Chain A
């Protein structure tokens, strides 16, 4: 019966935002305090152009990694590269990277012993070596076009699902997609040793390199942009030696990615209009895991 007996004049009591009291106002009354708790853009982060450009380096170098890998594959498929040579280079890179990883890790506590690392490496290499003849003939009954299409899709999936936002070692989806793509490609190479080499390379590029890069970003921040630029140059250069037009396209894509997209993001920032109020779902800010673990 709200306000059934109120006159046309303004009621004497002020309106309150409560439901438990019968107030002399109609149900559709709109007070001047309506929406007074509305807040706009309270948690917006203001991006600065060069900071964003720096962050996009991660995406650009990941795209280039795929380009480097494809270049390697292409050379091996044409027989221009000896697998043994590639294997030695891979071994050198792996040792160098491992050393760098250890030096950068320096202060932090190791969760695994060196022996455990060596064990996993041995197991992986032994199994891949043992199974490489099987992998070599795995897709023989599938047409080459299908294999190429499949690996293209898988490498794209790797790029899309790579965890750029929370810097971490590659997520399981992106790593699996990349390795599946590599197996597809490796099975089209001339020999079993080629297949083994290709898979070792894939592991180096898609699994171990992101770990090293992550640690570089953590411990020696200055080195990250240089590493990213180096990988991008390697990707463009490698592709250029095979297919110059492709290299041009790749470098255009990388430039768009690193320079144009951040510009758009920064320019579109000021159109942001995010509204918050008491209707928002509350966030649990405490760390509740301590009660369970």
Chain B
């Protein structure tokens, strides 16, 4: 509560620990050993999954050691290696709901401790507030005295009971996390309010898109008609109901318009009904679930990319669409207005009428030929969001975090109680004490020095692939030679 009010009157000031002012030469040499933790990782596909993968790859390229911990997906359990020696631990934890594990605050400690000790982790980086494993990892990392970073990928409301409860849990979970990363300014405001945080410890680092994966190819377009592409999961939050109103409205007015819809979900039936009722089988194609590698092939067939989301923290889809040279029409919700400059996107209110108006202006512009070519659009988008830039900015967060002290148990308990309210604070202080005792027990049962240190497959002491280590040994100190 106190923080909410403080947020209002916050005057701009230079933070004492700004992310850039302290960076010195010697600090750029510091190599971290990072453990990314999230329930969501390959073989699951989505925004969080690709974010973790791409960020890890770029951090490895910069010479850091990165391992990923996630839960087992079916047969995929144990340790796997991905490109460039990215080591993934698929831990045998029980999945509860929507690929998220159950949280008891205790049962994952032995396994996660084992990973952290084996890999001599210095920073734990958890992803996604929907992932119970991420919250567990933040809690255990603090118990073990490690520094933590958390990346929030989604927006949450405040109005209903379920969000009140999840927000309380987030408050507890983030109360002693060193630094939080959000993907847009709107997402930062949201997270600061939800977890009553000091906005100084929240950084905004947007997502990125690999521009080489999303290149335009105008020859694949059928220029005798105008194609509108929609690629999203077909669920309520993505505004599929709005789409079901737009399709008949526009198809009636423009006989040369067709829709190409990629994605799967419970709202597919609504689109099928609309297609049935208005007899649009030749003009509305439902492609079903798409593999990530096929997305580009679908995108390049279109002239306009339409996004009807009702809430979105960043929206990678519109960047992918624009990167393929499409004109983007999107709803003005969440962080979307921050993502693309006005000349690349047409923003509309989340209503059928407004979206139809926006689409019609774009269609009229395409008919008159008064539009930028796909190559021009691609060139503008290409440099906006790159994973290297994300990794550089994340590295600064790590550099800042690793200088911070880790609170001893007594301070941590005090902080929990003063920050999270009397009831929740006391409950979680109790849990923190129990976890601490559990950790002592584990340390007695199997002392840290008896746990084997794993062979590094990435980072400065990597034993894998000569070319990787060559590259990493070159980049940090070019000034010396």
Which residues of A line the B interface, CB within 8 A? 1-4, 6, 8, 15, 17-21, 26-32, 34-35, 37-38, 274-286, 288, 291-292
If A18-B338, A281-B157, A284-B241 touch, does A26 touch B310 (CB 8 Å cutoff)? no
B405 within 8 A of A: no
The 4 closest A-B pairs by CB, nearest first: A282-B350, A27-B203, A279-B190, A281-B311
If A19-B206, A34-B7, A35-B7 touch, does A28 touch B201 (CB 8 Å cutoff)? yes
If A278-B186, A279-B156, A288-B244 touch, does A28 touch B7 (CB 8 Å cutoff)? no
Give Cα A275 to B167, complex, Å: 13
Within the complex, what minimum Cβ distance (angstroms) separates A33 from chain B? 9
B352 within 8 A of A: yes
Residues in chain B near residue A35, CB distance under 8 A: 7-8, 10, 189, 192-193
User: In the complex, what residue of chain B is closest to A292 when comparing beta carbons?
Assistant: B273
Residues in chain B near residue A283, CB distance under 8 A: 310, 350
Question: Judging by beta carbons under 8 Å apart, are A26 and B20 in contact?
Answer: yes
Chain B contact-residue range equals 35 or more
Question: Judging by beta carbons under 8 Å apart, are A275 and B4 in contact?
Answer: yes
One of B37-45, B120-128, B299-307, B391-399 contacting the partner: B391-399
B205 within 8 A of A: yes
Give Cα A32 to B9, complex, Å: 8
One of B11-19, B62-70, B213-221, B410-418 contacting the partner: B11-19
Residues in chain B near residue A292, CB distance under 8 A: 244, 270, 273-274, 277
Give Cα A8 to B392, complex, Å: 21
Within the complex, what minimum Cβ distance (angstroms) separates A60 from chain B? 26
Residues in chain B near residue A30, CB distance under 8 A: 10, 12-13, 15, 199-200
Selected from B156, B185, B203, B242, the residue in CB contact (under 8 A) with A19 is: B185
Selected from B15, B270, B333, the residue in CB contact (under 8 A) with A282 is: B333
Within the complex, what minimum Cβ distance (angstroms) separates B22 from chain A? 11
Residues in chain A near residue B157, CB distance under 8 A: 279-281
Selected from A15, A20, A278, the residue in CB contact (under 8 A) with B333 is: A278
Give Cα A69 to B234, complex, Å: 49
Selected from A19, A34, A275, A286, the residue in CB contact (under 8 A) with B339 is: A19
Give Cα A34 to B187, complex, Å: 12
B204 within 8 A of A: yes
Residues in chain A near residue B396, CB distance under 8 A: 27
B248 within 8 A of A: yes
Question: Judging by beta carbons under 8 Å apart, are A20 and B189 in contact?
Answer: no
- Convert B332-347 into 0s and 1s, putting 1 for each residue whose CB lies closer than 8 angstroms to a CB of A: 0111011111000000
Residues in chain A near residue B353, CB distance under 8 A: 286
Residues in chain B near residue A18, CB distance under 8 A: 337-338, 341
Give Cα A163 to B273, complex, Å: 30
Among B364-393, those with CB < 8 Å from A are 384-385, 389, 392-393
User: In the complex, what residue of chain B is closest to A275 when comparing beta carbons?
Assistant: B158
Pick 11 A–B contacts, CB within 8 A, sort by A: A4-B20, A19-B204, A26-B20, A27-B393, A28-B200, A32-B12, A275-B4, A277-B189, A278-B334, A284-B351, A288-B242
Residues in chain A near residue B156, CB distance under 8 A: 279
Selected from A8, A21, A32, A280, the residue in CB contact (under 8 A) with B10 is: A32
User: In the complex, what residue of chain B is closest to A37 when comparing beta carbons?
Assistant: B189
Among B136-161, those with CB < 8 Å from A are 155-159
User: In the complex, what residue of chain B is closest to A31 when comparing beta carbons?
Assistant: B12
Question: Judging by beta carbons under 8 Å apart, are A27 and B205 in contact?
Answer: yes
Question: Judging by beta carbons under 8 Å apart, are B187 and A28 in contact?
Answer: no
Within the complex, what minimum Cβ distance (angstroms) separates B100 from chain A? 20
Question: Judging by beta carbons under 8 Å apart, are A274 and B158 in contact?
Answer: yes
Selected from B199, B202, B249, B310, the residue in CB contact (under 8 A) with A284 is: B310
If A17-B338, A20-B339, A282-B310 touch, does A2 touch B21 (CB 8 Å cutoff)? no
B184 within 8 A of A: yes
B358 within 8 A of A: no
Residues in chain B near residue A27, CB distance under 8 A: 19, 203-205, 393, 396-397
Residues in chain B near residue A286, CB distance under 8 A: 245, 351-353
Given contacts A28-B199, A288-B241, A292-B244, could you give 11 more A-B pairs where the C-beta distance is less than 8 Å? A17-B185, A18-B341, A20-B341, A26-B20, A28-B204, A35-B8, A38-B7, A38-B8, A38-B189, A281-B310, A284-B310
Give Cα A275 to B244, complex, Å: 31
Within the complex, what minimum Cβ distance (angstroms) separates A203 from chain B? 36
Most buried by B among A1, A37, A281: A281
Give Cα A52 to B159, complex, Å: 22
Give Cα A28 to B13, complex, Å: 11
Within the complex, what minimum Cβ distance (angstroms) separates A184 from chain B? 33
